[in-house]
Each structure stands twice: as C-alpha cells, then as structure tokens.
Amino acid sequence: MSDNALKPVPAHVAIIMDGNGRWAKAKGLERSAGHFEGVNAVHRITEAASHLGVKYLTLYAFSTENWNRPQEEVDALLNLISFALERETPGLIANNARLEIIGDIDRMPEEAQQRLRRSMAATAHGTGLTVVVAFSYSSRWEITRACREIARKAAAGEIDPETITDETVSQHLATASYPDPDLLIRTGGDMRLSNFLLWQVAYAEIFVTDTYWPDFSVDEFKSAIDNFRCRERRFGRTSEQINHSL
Ligand code: IPE
Ligand code: IPE
Ligand code: MG
C-alpha cells in the first residue's frame, strides 16, 4: 500500500450541487424535475458521507443570487426544501446525523423557516455527520454581516481593532463552529465559486466534475475522496518540509 492510501478522508467536504437545470433540459423535462432528482442525490451522498466517516458535509442548495431566478422556480425550490426536510429528517436521525443551516433564512417564507427549525431541533443530538445546508447563502452576505458585527463590537469597546486576527473574522462567520472545508466539489463542470465559502476554502482541495448533480453517484463521490487522499497539501510550504515532518 502506498503512503497516499493512508491519508485520512477529508473531515469537511463542501459541495456546489450544480447542473440540475441542464440535467432536466437534456431529458426534455422542466427544470423543477432536475431539482427534484437532485434531492435523491443529496440523500445518497449524505448517506455515503456518513458511512465514509466524513464529519461535516456542507451543501450549497440556494444562493443569495438564486433569489433572482424566475419566481416560479424560486417557489418550486422553496417547496422542495420543505418537502426534502420532511422526507429526509427521519433518515438523518437514524444515521445519527445533525442538520444545520447557514444563510439568510429570514428571507424564506415563515412556513419553510419553521420546517427548518423543526428538523434542526429533531437532529440536534446527532453526534455523527453534521450536514450544513447553505440556503439563501452567499459568502459576501456572510462576510459583510461579520464586518458589521465586528465593527459594532469595536465601536462599543468590546474589541480592540488592533487585536483582530483572521481567527476573529472566522469566529464571526456563519460557519464559526465548523472547521474549514478540506475538499470542495463542484458538479456541472463550471470552474467558479459562485459566492460560496470564499473565506473558508482558502486551502481547500478543489474537484470539479462535468457530471450534473442529479447523476452524481456514490462511486464518483468516493473517487473524489480518493483523489483528495492522493494530493499533497502544502499550505505554502515546500514538499520537502511536508515530508520531513512526517
Ligand atoms: C443547481 O442547479 C441548483 C440551484 C442553483 C438551486 P441549477 O439550477 O443551477 O442547474 P443549471 O446550472 O442551470 O444546469
Ligand atoms: C451555484 O449554482 C449555487 C448553487 C448550486 C446553489 P448557480 O447555478 O446559481 O451558479 P452560477 O449562477 O452558474 O454561477
Ligand atoms: Mg447552475
């Protein structure tokens, strides 16, 4: 067995679940059919992540910018998140998983917010995988909010501006209680971040696949993880430094 095979699975995997619309279009279906099929992919990948020993799985489900889609599609996505939470919560509990949410959920209809709170409360005691759903989320929204909060504390004399470090910033983000992602996966082939976890992915390994999200299989998820396990993460150092410290 090579050394590479011994590298651990990523503790935190973040996924930009893209390509639902193109998946549907290729099949002559409505975009909403792609989103619906996307929920089945969420189910299998969440289960696989849990079995593989991943500790955190962050799923980009709806961005701040996605509010600008046609109202009909936004409504379909809002209905779908409630449906998915209803259907998937018992399985999360059975897998000892915990559900959390990051994003500006005040923009969601009250009913969907309540559904979310119920699912979070029902899974709060899970000690296995933490599934973090990013909904109505964007990194710039989150970083701006953090700046506002830090500035408020500085103005109130609770924080000395000279003592602000990158850790202070991390602690004011919606992701404060999670480690940074080790592996970022994007399906649908586009090579961009689309306002997702810009601060947190500073040193994430990136894996982009052309596969549309509804077709993303457990096998491909495992190969993304195997690929991650073969990479050398240098964090700015040299390869020699990394290998000497082993
Ligand atoms: C991702 O699929 C899901 C959301 C953004 C809500 P898309 O709906 O963006 O699918 P494509 O990129 O148009 O194929
Ligand atoms: C990113 O996908 C957001 C989600 C997957 C939820 P988009 O389809 O919205 O990204 P862009 O607009 O193509 O960059
Ligand atoms: Mg897209």
Tell me the whole-structure pTM to 2 decimals: 0.97
Cβ of residue 18 lying under 6 Å from some atom of ligand 1: yes
Cα 100 to ligand 1 centroid, rounded to whole Å? 22
- Given the structure tokens 């995997």, which residue do they identify? 13
Strands 183-186 and 130-137: unpaired
User: What is the rounded CA–CA span in Å between residue 93 and residue 175?
Assistant: 22
* Annotation says 18 is catalytic: yes
The atom of ligand 2 lying closest to the CA of 65 is 9
Determine the pLDDT at residue 93.
Answer: 97
Determine the pLDDT at residue 244.
Answer: 85
pLDDT digits (tens, 9 = 90+) for 162-182: 999 999 999 999 999 999 999
Maximum Cα–Cα distance across the chain: 59
CATH class in words for 11-231: alpha beta
Q: Which ligand is nearest to the CA of 213?
A: 1
Residue 22: exposure state from Cβ atoms within 10 A (0-12, 13-18, ≥19): middle
Boundaries of every domain in the chain: 11-231
Q: Which ligand is nearest to the CA of 16?
A: 2
Determine the pLDDT at residue 6.
Answer: 65
- Given the structure tokens 């999200």, which residue do they identify? 213
User: What is the rounded CA–CA span in Å between residue 180 and residue 139?
Assistant: 13
Cα 88 to ligand 3 centroid, rounded to whole Å? 23
- Reference 41, options 53, 30, 49, 29; nearest CA is 49
pLDDT digits (tens, 9 = 90+) for 141-169: 999 999 999 999 999 999 999 999 999 99
Determine the pLDDT at residue 246.
Answer: 64
Determine the pLDDT at residue 90.
Answer: 97
Binned average pLDDT, 10 residues per bin, the chain of 246 residues: 68 99 98 98 98 98 98 97 97 97 98 97 98 98 98 98 98 98 98 98 98 98 97 95 83
